[in-house]
Structure 1
């Protein structure tokens, strides 16, 4: 049988298929295991596969492309409106077919293995930064319970806590001091791992023309450049203009308009939160430098490079 279009509702081990003819009419449905899913496409002639841009979608899109099949990934948040009545795997697959027919539905570009690996490095760094922050905040809280105030700043705070724990006359009881030292050791280990990961990102950026170009822009540092390349593969030609690119990760304002009344509110905060956080820190740092004096404006001196010293989403207090 020659199917024109196949909509796939992805899952970890169960895949729901809706097969449509050239008129977008569902002529067959299948519920397959992972092995059956791979065998099904190897034994069928398929022109187009439609999937949500969700977990594992890019992997399956690359695999299907290797078979010569066109793949269209649709934004997951826009599919819900096309689901009829109750939510089931079959209804989700049918909704994908309806959504694919919408002329204004823009597909998501399939990411390469290198892009996803680079994004994974950024996610790992974010996890380590979050763990480091939580450990520092915990130590601050413990010290506060014993009447010890820790100065503001992650690095300054860890150094102060280390000195307090090493002091035999400190107010921190012996009962908790040993365990608290283990937390400090864990923080030091996380910092070493983060530094190593940043060195690996720097090596990647050194041999990436797209990263080199981005690093020449004021407000763009190592993390922002590599994260943008990972998200867009260094090619933004598929965006209509700069405003559409900004809208993609939520930097354009929300609009509340009706008739002749138009109101633009705060930024929408849609899209990639991590990218938006990096760019916001870059803009904040750049603004601080501009306000620092005429000499600083002339030289374009930064107090800290974006993405290394000031890209944490939350500083420990």
Structure 2
């Protein structure tokens, strides 16, 4: 059993592997749970592993590379033309194995842990900005129902809130509203 190429179709809980020889013939296929993936690749002779680029692909690519394999990620739209028959996990894994050996195929570069950390910070920062804007708009809406109109903009809300919630100033807001 001379395995030269592996197609790995990643999923949340159960992934599918198709191992092919030099001629592209399937010599082994298997379903793997997350906990079995690294064990499987440590026992496998060093080969080319194709992975469809998805949410967990960068992590698995780095881990499988540590086992000595050459891992290449392929964007899903480049794998789709190679899927034969009905769509199922084994056919997807076979399509990945076929696509990874194409000479003109474009691959996704595997991100390092540092690159993923920076990306995560950007995503979380963007979410915080979105939440801040939504909260400010919500505050403006609640205050508008009380007859207090604050112009659009986060700075305007931040500027007006201290004076609106000052218990010493009578601005039409009830004591209950100011305390909660």
Same topology, TM > 0.5: yes
Q: Which residue of 2 aligns with 1:8?
A: 8
1:51 partnered with 2:51: yes
CA contact (8 A) 2:2 2:22 kept: no
Q: Which residue of 1 aligns with 2:71?
A: 71
Deviation at 1:129, TM superposition (A): 1.1
- Give per-residue Cα distances to partners, 1:159-211, cap 9 Å, x unaligned: 213321225422334443333xxxxxxxxxxxxxxxxxxxxxxxxxxxxxxxx
Deviation at 1:19, TM superposition (A): 0.9
Distance in 1 (CA, whole Å) between partners of 2:98 and 2:48 is 14
Q: Secondary structure at the match of 2:18?
A: strand
Deviation at 1:103, TM superposition (A): 4.0
- Give per-residue Cα distances to partners, 1:240-293, cap 9 Å, x unaligned: xxxxxxxxxxxxxxxxxxxxxxxxxxxxxxxxxxxxxxxxxxxxxxxxxxxxxx
Q: TM (normalized to structure 2)? A: 0.88
Q: Which residue of 2 aligns with 1:106?
A: 106
Deviation at 1:123, TM superposition (A): 1.4
Alignment of 1:228-307 (within 5 A): none
Q: Which residue of 1 aligns with 2:146?
A: 146
Unaligned runs of 5+ in 1: 180-317
Two-structure CA RMSD over aligned residues (Å):
1.9
Distance in 1 (CA, whole Å) between partners of 2:85 and 2:136 is 48
Distance in 2 (CA, whole Å) between partners of 1:156 and 1:85 is 59
Deviation at 1:3, TM superposition (A): 0.8
Q: Secondary structure at the match of 1:107?
A: coil
CA contact (8 A) 2:50 2:72 kept: yes
CA contact (8 A) 2:46 2:68 kept: no
Distance in 1 (CA, whole Å) between partners of 2:178 and 2:145 is 13
CA contact (8 A) 2:9 2:93 kept: yes
Q: 4+ residue runs of structure 1 moved beyond 4 angstroms?
A: none
- Give per-residue Cα distances to partners, 1:89-145, cap 9 Å, x unaligned: 112212212332444421011111111111111112112111111111110111111
Q: Which residue of 2 aligns with 1:125?
A: 125
Distance change in 2, residues 1:38/1:156 (3 Å): same
Unaligned runs of 5+ in 2: none
Q: TM (normalized to structure 1)? A: 0.52
Distance in 2 (CA, whole Å) between partners of 1:160 and 1:67 is 59
Q: Which residue of 2 aligns with 1:172?
A: 173
Distance in 2 (CA, whole Å) between partners of 1:34 and 1:178 is 50
Distance change in 2, residues 1:91/1:172 (3 Å): farther
Q: For this pair of structures, how many residues does the alignment match?
A: 179
| Greater relative contact order (Cα < 8 A, sep 6+) | 2
Deviation at 1:21, TM superposition (A): 1.1
Distance in 2 (CA, whole Å) between partners of 1:85 and 1:23 is 20
CA contact (8 A) 1:151 1:160 kept: no
